[in-house]
Structure 1
Amino acid sequence: MKVSDHKNAQLIEEAKATLINNDLGGYTVPTHGLYPFQWNWDSAIVALGWLPFDEPRAWEETTSLLSAQWQTGMVPHVVFHQQSDTYFPGPDIWGVKNELDSTSITQPPVLASVIKILYEETKDRALADSQIKTIIPQLIHSHLWWYKHRDPENTGLVVSYHPWESGMDNSPAWDDALEAVPCIDWEYTRRDTSHIDASERPHKKEYDRFLYLVDFFRKMNFDDTLIYQDCPYRVNDVSIISILHRATKDLLWLCEKTGVDNEQTEYLKERLNLTASAMNKLWCAKTNMFHSFDTRSNSLCQARTSAGLLPFFAGLVNEQQATPLISVLDNWLEHSQFAISSTHPEDPNYEPQRYWRGPIWLHVNWMIMLGLKDYGFSTQAERITDGSRACIYASGFNESFHAETGARSGGADFSWTAAMGLYWLLPNQTEKE
């Protein structure tokens, strides 16, 4: 899609304005109203958007998120810095009593990979060096928590306890696993459908189960051991596993550059090897894709989703898997000039506009693109880049995009989409592709 220099310049300014307008003083909300707090992987991605025009603010985004880190090492998926009545469930439902109110679950740990980029690309070296000294111990604490608390049996594959932890909240990959979760027995009023048409949001039957799990965590007093044993939803999420693996490699790179070498870094290296040896469990020869694994039913989550491409980002695709997986991707990309839908268009669960069941998400595309480039699949990486840029050109900085038309899906004026525009997709950023 040909776009004038004037239009590109206008979009760059609109992207900057989106971040500035969503900045609540040290942290950036995804969008006002629908998501009025600080979200974990949103903030990590958003830091990349601040980087090209406000380096101190990029670092502040990450340190603000880490300020809510639990003593266990977990970085929560939402931080409730201030009150808002436009979102449900809020801190009263979660029941967490920390210095900063938060949820009791986490999200994909892409933060270390973002910190590596900040450290490499920040022009103010004094700022980078001062920030990294504090951040590296916090990142190590977080990654140790993942491996020790979310994989206590040393299988090599960490587990997730809630679809919200995946960030891909309503993915059809979770449908069967959620069926084992009871519905809650109390009434509630959702807030999301007052901001977004219900046809784009999860159904009530999913939300009932989402809230049952929130109740369950509180009843277990947030005890990781009890939750691991008894949680009715326990999934080896291929997206989390892949993002964690890449992030641990990036964290170890940071440790090497800054002279951190100890028992903790040796342990992290061992965990990388353990995950690499366990990944075949998530490969399906029938679909030629990676899938998440429901540890309760001992079965693969069958839906074909973009999460199954993230092992490229992690470097976890072996030689025998790469060619058939690329064939799947080539077929996927033939369905639309926009790319890439979050569920394969030929999957029976595909819905091009319903939350995570089809719409396009640019930050996921960015990770897949990086992985493809690492493997030398430059044609596919360029196609995803072009398809992602086409979304912005078609309808601006939305939460996600209709998989077939590129129209708005989800919230408008969305921070992580603006960040991907500034860092990755708009002119003068192409050297980062």
Structure 2
Amino acid sequence: MDVTWGQAAAVLDGNWLGSSTVPSRSLYPHQWSWDSAFIAIGLRNLAPSRARRELTTLFSAQWRDGRVPHIVFDPGTPPEAYFPGPSFWRAGRTSGLVQPPVHARAALAVHEAEPDYEFLAALYPKLVAWHDYLRISRDAGGRGLAAIVHPWESGMDNSPAWDAPLSRVTPSSGFVRRDLQHGAAADRPSDEDYGRYVRLAADYRDSGYRDAGSFVVEDPGFNALLADGELALAEIAETLDLPSDAHREAAARIQKALQESLWDGDFFFARDVRSGALIRQYTCAGLLPLLLPDLAVAPALLATATGPRFGLGRVHGVPSHDLTAPEFDTGRYWRGPSWFNVGWLVRQGLLRHGEHALASRLRDDLVETASRTDFAEYVDPLTGQGHGARSFGWTAALTVDLLAQPVAVA
């Protein structure tokens, strides 16, 4: 444990910019929104003041409408180091998209590690504004669920769940991909898919960041994290002696909408708001509602998680896509590989539903795999081989957090 802890801490030190942490010095040289939330969760065990700074820096870039941008650009990083950079977005020092709302849970975790009521009181209204933006401005389908308007907003950029709605998008051309300078092409999205991402982002930018477009999707993972974030906000409000009922009610409404709108048979599927159809792809996003307590369909969802589609407990981590599907790919970005943040989240869900033995096996596998692969960005779920960047920020941070937590017992 001591060796792995020290190695993970060294990764976080190496990725620290002074006020935030980059996911990767090579591939992702700026601050990313949900990465920073997970990194703060790990940093609370090493340097709570740095964890607070991580979140404070991110929320200093919050937009007036409440959105938290998915990238905050480091002014000291050369413009050519990442595409699309600040000149593409025309939004000052940030991008215009968002990422999943894991920040309230991170802020609460940081406070619990080293109580700081001033930090919590300063962040609380910003978190409320962030959730209000998602719950109100992004309810494109009118079902009480937040919609994403770009695959990057899901955090699971290249998921097969996005193939059908993306097929309506004409790819852009004439840009230079920077990611392929730092990652193997076989691990990354195809040129055609990347062209669609750029087209969608440019159209969104050119609309003045109006929340509409050809890609509008209700994602179960994003909404499960929003509901869990509302539960975390309720705990934060109670800690600050503020009313909390509105947050618990919001969480209950989102959970109800998830079950009524996105559950079908044995799984939570994304919905294409433009066509109205469920996207019947079994992706790891559909497992994240396990985070929610009193989930009526939890037994059926756990059966799917431990069955042949995901093999939970028999493979490395949590596969990002259905092991039995023709689209499954052991190495390509979000089309099969296991990611450490998803593993960490699913473990939380297992604990909340009393699956302590399975949670313990998952924890041990995540820690061992992270150490063995030099804290890889993601891994082959069948062999445990590392893919993507190494010394990856949230892999190191969440390894620290898993090592710091008591081992679950049955």
TM-score (normalizing by structure 2): 0.94
Contact 1:282 1:292 in 2 (8 A): yes
- Compute the displacement of 1:432 (Å): 8.0
Aligned to 2:253: 274
Aligned to 2:223: 241
Name the CA distance, whole Å, in 1 between partners of 2:262 and 2:221. Answer: 11
1:149 to 137, 159, 163: 137
What is the letter of the counterpart of residue 227 of structure 2?
Answer: H
Question: What aligned pairs does 1:407-426 form with structure 2 within 5 A after superposition?
Answer: 407-424=385-402, 426=403
- Compute the displacement of 1:152 (Å): 5.8
Q: Does 1:79 align with 2:72?
A: yes
What is the letter of the counterpart of residue 181 of structure 1?
Answer: V
What is the letter of the counterpart of residue 48 of structure 1?
Answer: I
Q: Does 1:117 align with 2:109?
A: yes
Name the CA distance, whole Å, in 2 between partners of 1:337 and 1:61. Answer: 33
Contact 2:375 2:392 in 1 (8 A): yes
Aligned to 2:117: 129
Q: Does 1:11 align with 2:4?
A: yes
**Distance verdict in 2 for CA 1:432–1:381, change over 3 Å:** closer
1:34 is paired with a residue of what secondary structure? coil
**Distance verdict in 2 for CA 1:48–1:272, change over 3 Å:** closer
Structure 1: 5+ residue stretches without partners: 1-7
Name the CA distance, whole Å, in 2 between partners of 1:44 and 1:341. Answer: 22
Aligned to 2:269: 291
2:111 is paired with a residue of what secondary structure? helix
Q: Does 1:108 align with 2:95?
A: no
Name the CA distance, whole Å, in 2 between partners of 1:188 and 1:419. Answer: 33
Deviates more, 1:45-54 or 1:21-30: 45-54
Structure 2: 5+ residue stretches without partners: none
Q: Does 1:212 align with 2:199?
A: yes
Aligned to 2:169: 181
C-alpha RMSD of matched pairs (Å): 1.8
Q: Does 1:255 align with 2:231?
A: no
What is the letter of the counterpart of residue 208 of structure 2?
Answer: N
What is the letter of the counterpart of residue 242 of structure 1?
Answer: A
Aligned to 1:4: none
Q: Does 1:58 align with 2:38?
A: no
Name the CA distance, whole Å, in 1 between partners of 2:246 and 2:4. Answer: 45
- Compute the displacement of 1:156 (Å): 1.2
What is the letter of the counterpart of residue 106 of structure 1?
Answer: V
Equivalent pairs counted in the alignment come to 404
2:301 to 287, 310, 325: 325
Contact 2:140 2:273 in 1 (8 A): no
Name the CA distance, whole Å, in 2 between partners of 1:43 and 1:199. Answer: 27
Contact 1:162 1:210 in 2 (8 A): yes
2:89 to 94, 99, 102: 94
**Distance verdict in 2 for CA 1:115–1:103, change over 3 Å:** same
Percentage of identical aligned residues: 33
Name the CA distance, whole Å, in 2 between partners of 1:187 and 1:361. Answer: 31
Contact 1:352 1:402 in 2 (8 A): yes
- Compute the displacement of 1:117 (Å): 1.0
